Structure 1
Amino acid sequence: MRTMSTPQSEAQPTSLTQYTMYSVFRRPPGAPKITELDAALRELDEALAPNEADGVIVRGFYDVSGFRQDADVLVWTHGEHPEALQAAIRRIRTTPLFEQLDLSWQVVGVHRAAEFNERHMPAFMYGKEPKSWICIYPFVRSYEWYLLDEAERSVMLRDHGMRGSAFTSVLANTVAAFAISDYEWMLSFEDDELLNIVDMMRDLRYTEARRHVREETPFYTGRRIETAELPLVLRHVKSLEA
């Protein structure tokens, strides 16, 4: 089987407006196996080809199998125009590798000034290289949070941010999702070591700001993969040929 690399996304976006889409797919039981895998990978290549012209960046494909019963592959894309993201995921879903998959979870967010730091931007907007592991999840504040005194909120957010900043290798990506999903915020964290993400998330529980959390699940966690690994992750083959 030929080797095909995951599209890279190290280039810094040219626009300060960036929409981002997380799409989680699951191969349902009984779905037929694909026998012409090289052709299927070529079709995926062709489906990804228009992305550059449309301003869509594929941050990565991720193996999320084994962590949850409803997930095998996560696709993360971002770009300036939401309609371009819609078109990109439609093209992916028409390919043989994806057309038989169930879309089990999907959220879109957009970069807006963060409530704790107006200069904060997601790591992917700084042109940071994708890391090996990712954890994504939605986030909803308590109703009372937005009625608190601004100074009180600032103290709690500063403490929360300082705890997170101790984990210097972790890349943070926070985008607003209110009005375009069922959540207020969408978060993802990247690191080359999964334990760093786990330890950071555990540490962030010990802050006052967490008293004002209404929802912060589901979690989807996985490893960034090359597209050539998709047949293995989706159980079309038992191993990859050398």
Structure 2
Amino acid sequence: MAERQLNLYATFAYNEAYFNLSDEERREVRRRIAEEAPTVAEATQFYSIFPARCDSDFLIWSAWSADTDDATEKALTGYATVSEGWRRYVHPTQTLWGYTRVSTYARGKSEQDMDPFDETRGTYFVAYPFAKTKEWYLMSMDARQGQMNEHIKLGKQYPEIRQLLLYSFGVQDQEFVVAYETEDLPKFSDLVYALRSTEARRHTALDTPLITGIHRTPEEFIR
């Protein structure tokens, strides 16, 4: 696996021109997206969004290795070029992206870490941006580590829930993007509820919008 990865979660909504098409024509639009999206990334996954959100119909998760200086330019330029052909029938509603890196607070890799290049994916996918307060960064490293230890310990009580943390400092409005995979959304909701009671919660400045999707194979997406 690459030392550093670029991951992009893009949500799209079908527009009026799409819904004015016949059933077969709409299927052809979806087929084109399903065939073209994987050509610009090293790994591509599709998720249905509506009716979990009313502003988006589907999400595409794209991942690239990002170990070279020009990796991001090639990835984003290629994505923009290919997706331009879809824009007659869909428009982007949200893009969240960032890079993987070694965690500041956790040692080594965890069995709960998500690998974007795994072929097997969880049924449910949840992603959202978040940012910390100014006060968080002015605390000592020991103080922050103590609060994060509580956070990490709680997360390990839900070993079946996997996560991927992206760093977006300086490239998007948020500082992080966190994504989860699970087979049990109620249990995932329990985890998030429990995390709200940790001390680190005092220093959360942003943690919306939440995007929840159901994994679809390309064939299911086209159907």
Q: CA deviation at 1:26?
A: 1.1
- Shift of residue 177 of structure 1? 0.7
Matched, 1:20 2:2: no
Q: Paired residue for 2:76?
A: 86
The equivalent residue for 1:112 is 101
Q: How many residues are aligned here?
A: 214
Match for residue 57 of structure 2? Answer: 72
SS at match of 2:191: helix
1:118–1:79: structure 2 CA closer, same or farther, 3 Å change rule? farther
CA distance in 1, matches of 2:157, 2:177: 21
Instruction: Give 1:111-130 correspondences, 5 Å limit.
Output: 111-117=100-106, 119-120=108-109, 122-124=113-115, 127=118, 129-130=120-121
Deviation at 1:129, TM superposition (A): 3.0
The answer as to whether partners of 2:127 and 2:212 remain within 8 angstroms in 1 is: yes
Paired residues of 1:61 and 1:75 also in contact (CA < 8 A): yes
8 A Cα contact 1:24 1:106, kept in partner: yes
Counting only pairs closer than 5 Å after superposition, residues 56-205 of structure 1 correspond to structure 2 as 56-58=42-44, 60-80=45-65, 81-90=71-80, 92-95=82-85, 99-117=88-106, 119-120=108-109, 122-124=113-115, 127=118, 129-205=120-196
Q: Percent identity?
A: 21
TM-score normalised by length of structure 1? 0.79
AA partner of residue 126 (structure 2): C
Q: Which structure 2 residue ranges, 5 or more long, are not aligned?
A: 66-70
Structure 1: where are the runs of 5+ without partners? 1-12, 232-239
Give 1:42 shift: 4.8
CA positional deviation for 1:95: 4.9
Structure 2 length normalisation: TM-score? 0.85
Distance verdict in 2 for CA 1:225–1:125, change over 3 Å: closer
Change (3 A) 1:100 1:41: closer
| 1: CA distance, partners of 2:159 / 2:124 | 15
Q: Write the letter of the residue equivalent to 2:8.
A: M
Instruction: Give the RMSD, CA atoms, in angstroms.
Output: 2.4
Q: Distance in 1 between matches of 2:200 and 2:161?
A: 20
The amino acid that maps onto 2:92 is L
Contact between 2:15 and 2:90, CA under 8 Å: does it hold in 1?
yes
Find the residue that maps to 1:50 and give its secondary structure: helix
Cα distance change, pair 192–202 in 1 and its aligned pair in 2 (3 A): same
SS of the equivalent of 1:228 reads helix
SS of residue in 2 equivalent to 1:183:
coil
In structure 2, the residue corresponding to 1:160 is in which secondary structure? helix
Contact 2:17 2:89 in 1 (8 A): no
